[in-house]
Amino acid sequence: MIYHVTTATEWNNAQSKGFYEVASLHVEGFIHMSKKEQVAGVLERYYKDVPELILLHVDETKIKAELKYERSPSLHEEFPHVFGPLNLDAVVNTEKIV
């Protein structure tokens, strides 16, 4: 299982479109994902004051786009990256972050 933090608005948009994508896919070429133990750090670094967050629980085996684990030079950790839109059936659970 891998995870992705998003906003309620972005998740609602994905459900309307039938797939999930964010700006990083077009700018960096991939969607940032996290392992379970990395989620708290991601929230602290990038989402401190962002309201209405949703944590997507993603089954790696159901992702249709390419999935690669790549090392973050600044954090010296490997993070999962999805190189294409995320198919919604790979999202097996959503959780509100409070």
Statement: residue 74 has pLDDT above 90: no
Statement: residue 73 has pLDDT above 90: no
pLDDT band per the 50, 70, 90 thresholds, residue 76: confident
Domains contained in the chain, number: 1
For residue 20, the SS3 value is: strand
d(CA 7, CA 53): 4
The pLDDT assigned to 4 comes to 98
Is 0.75 surpassed by the pTM of this model?
A: yes
CATH code, domain carrying 82: 3.20.170.20
The tokens describing 49, both together, are: 């004051």
Q: Which range of residues forms the domain containing residue 23? A: 2-97
Statement: residue 75 has pLDDT above 90: no
